[in-house]
A and B are shown apart, each in its own frame.
Chain A
Amino acid sequence: MDLVAVLLDASRAALGVPAAAYALAAIGLNLHFGYTGLLNFGHIAFLLVGAYGTAITVDAGGPLWLGVAVGVLAAVVLGLVMGLPTLRLRADYLAIVTIALGEILRLLFRSRPMQPLTGGVRGMEGYADAFYAANPYTAGARYGVGALTFSGNTLWVMTVGWGLVVLATLLLLLLVRSPWGRVLRSIREDEDAARSLGKNVFGYKLQSLVLGGVLGALAGIVLALDRQYVNPDFYLVVFTFFFYTIVILGGPGTLAGPIVGSVLFWFIIQGTESLLRQAINQGYLGGLIDTTDLGAVRLILAGTALVLLMVFRPQGIFGNRRELLLDER
């Protein structure tokens, strides 16, 4: 077994574009779930509208900045559409409605009648050229320390991705320490108490949903720029639960939680995958699983982590248990 290669793979994943994008999406979800107590199971839909807003705008001849603006605006609209009718529902009903809305969007975007606009199941590409044209690094060169290197293009997406993560964290730092953030947490702890103090609970929830959704859309745009290809089937329900794993791993309702969670998540997932791949290639597992099963192993790990964390350490690794009492019906 080559443990150095495993560590390299894991570290590359922990620093790479997906880790940054997932951290960004998880920051948005953390605002919903960790700070406001909203059980949003359709977070992936925000990534979808962000990515497709960008891709469709550029495809129609618009510049990239306009595409990003359209993607963000689409997330605002989706947040309002999702929130206005549903935020009055109890947590479990909200979960069902948001998961259904996410699936509706994915099915619509891949449907044949929508194909002229969205490319249907074939997806869309060619919208990221302007982004890579603005790359300050040399596209072909490798940057990094020792064997841990990234191509210039990847480094450019990483710079933007982690930059957005830092900006979003700073924004949340200001917001959650403001009176606005305190109201959010009071809604999480006891909605009726917040309401009886004259707070417009519905309005605060809606603001939280829209703001977190915009962060999700930015994450979707970062991922779409990295892949240079969007397909509706990138936006399956399961990815929302990756974000939940990340938020709960890092600690819901903490500022650093989503970042720590995402880095850890990708380090563990990629490290395990790399380890298993070596073990399989060298025949240690005796045909129990093969390399095509590794994608499933990733989700088995995420599922196990969700169950164990939620039962034994719902405050995550760094969270404070007393801070988080989102257990009341």
Chain B
Amino acid sequence: MRSPPTTRALPAALLLLAALLLAGAAGPAVAAQPDEGEDATSVGGTVRAEGDGVPGVRLFAELDGEQVAETRTAGDGTWRLELPGAGRYRVTLDVDTLPEGTALRNPDRNPLEVDLRAGQHRALLFPLGERAAAGRGTLDRALDLGVQGIKLGAIIALAAIGLSLIFGITGLVNFAHGEMVTFGAAVAFLVNVSAVGPRWHLLVAAPIAVVAGGLFGYALERGCFRPLRRRRTGLIALIVVTIGMSLFIRHVLLILLGGQRRTFADYAVQRAASFGPVNIAPKDVVIIVLALAVLVAVGLALQLTRTGTAMRAVADNQALAAASGIDVERVILVTWIAGGALAALGGVLYGVTESVSWDMGFRLLLVMFAAVILGGLGTAYGAMAGGLLIGVVSEVSVVWFPVDFKLVFVFLALILTLLVRPQGILGIRERIG
């Protein structure tokens, strides 16, 4: 079940900016609104199954054994119980109202007891899903997760190539690269799902998103980074600029997309099928094949085409490349376009396999950093190797370690690589200290 899309068109972003500027002048003075009182005491959350909100689930709260509030989840699975004030509440999810085939992951964490102060809002989680499949061995689980890891790793690798190449060629660490990923998914969402879009099939929406991602990369380079290079803006200032851009783009997307996680109209829910010993959804097979094929194609293009060779030459030694007649500015522009397109493709694929949300790229950003640093910052092959390694290792770690630590391991890998072998697995030694 998916909530009706309420996304507003991209032009709204521009209007919004205009509105921000004009807001001060808007409208005549009207009598004061009454002050909003203290926020009401409440609990709330979202009931999700496999990323989708589950509507119509009944929840109720009790105080001293008396029911004081009751609600049902909305279309997107969100719920909120307004409570009379401070106290120790017992919040129960009515298991009978869950749809067929879903169950609480931790039945012993229902009902939940919660202490609230007056005016406090507390989020409560009732995670749904199958309990860890009993009867399947550790090896089978590791195998399943390994395939999931290859899928995520290939997506991360795709998305991170641009980050790595742009660093290699211009020395810029682009903290807004995550937003290039989100941008791709958002464009596909706009075309595929949104009420204001044409609602074309995802197979049409995805190429549009990739083209839009390339244009976005072009716009960033021509509109922002080339002028800044001309002004000889320094490295630290540029990093701070990308941070500001990242904040700006991400939160404009938050306003446009809303805070929920969404799915595309096609391929949203698929039951896993068995391929030999591995359980995997068919769409994930397609994603793996597609992503690996694109990775190979990028590798071949870098190796065999003139532009690819020029890119590697500029990344290796800009002055020498310029001296031997390579148009460095053009190579930089092509890199931004290609990086933007690949990031957008990564975003679309991630949206298909997980979900589309305003902060998906930012959540991937540090993982992408880990991938490119592990593989060797500045090279495309490093991003590929690092992405696959990070994906597989972090997913399979769940077999032995709590899932909470998955990202911790990824970030530790990033830090340890910088300390022990800062040039990465495939990088060539250079001074970074």
A residues adjacent to B (C-beta < 8 A): 1-5, 37, 39, 41, 85-86, 88-93, 95-97, 99-101, 103-104, 107-108, 110-113, 121-122, 125, 228-229, 238, 241, 244, 248, 272, 275-276, 278-279, 281-282, 284-285, 288-289, 292-293, 296-297, 299-308, 310-311, 314, 326-329
Contacts and interface: CB of A to CB of B under 8 A. Distances in A.
B418 A327 contact: no
Contacts of B23: 272, 275-276, 279, 284-285
Q: Interface on chain A toward B: helix, strand, loop, or mixed SS?
A: helix
B105 to A, nearest CB: 13
Nearest to B362: A237
Interface in B372-410: 373, 402, 404-405, 407-408
Contacts of A282: 27, 30, 33
B19 A288 contact: yes
Across the A-B interface, give the 4 residue pairs with the lowest CB-CB distance, nearest first.
A327-B234, A306-B244, A303-B247, A111-B404
B30 A89 contact: no
A29 to B, nearest CB: 12
Given A5-B32, A95-B173, A296-B255, A303 B248 contact: yes
Contacts of B232: 327
Pick the most buried of A41, A238, A296, A301: most chain B CB atoms within 10 A of its CB: A296
A97 B31 contact: no
Contacts of A326: 234, 236-237
B366 A99 contact: yes
7 contacts: A2-B29, A2-B31, A37-B236, A244-B243, A284-B23, A296-B255, A326-B237
B233 A327 contact: yes
B15 to A, nearest CB: 6
Contacts of A292: 259
Given A37-B236, A288-B16, A97 B414 contact: yes
Contacts of B234: 326-329
B228 interface: yes
Contact of A90 (B122, B373, B433): B433
Contact of B236 (A2, A122, A288, A327): A327
> Size band of the B side of the interface?
35 or more
Contacts of A88: 433
Interface string B169-208: 0010100000000000000000000000000000000000
B240 interface: yes
Contacts of B432: 89-90, 93
A99 to B, nearest CB: 7
Interface of B: 8, 12, 15-16, 19-20, 23-24, 26-33, 117, 120, 122, 125, 171, 173, 228, 231-237, 239-241, 243-252, 254-255, 259, 366, 369-370, 373, 402, 404-405, 407-408, 411-412, 414-415, 418-419, 422, 432-433
A297 B244 contact: no
A282 B32 CA distance: 10
Given A100-B366, A275-B23, A310 B422 contact: no
A10 to B, nearest CB: 12
B422 A112 contact: no
A97 B369 CA distance: 10
B20 A329 contact: no
A140 B33 CA distance: 25
Given A1-B30, A2-B31, A95-B173, A307 B412 contact: no
Contacts of B30: 1-2, 282
A38 to B, nearest CB: 10
B411 A104 contact: yes
A86 B26 contact: no
Contacts of A308: 244
A100 B15 CA distance: 35
Contacts of A304: 244, 248
Contacts of B24: 275
Nearest to A305: B244
Given A91-B235, A122-B122, A310-B233, 13 more contacts: A37-B236, A39-B239, A104-B408, A107-B405, A108-B408, A111-B402, A238-B247, A272-B23, A297-B251, A302-B244, A303-B248, A311-B228, A327-B233
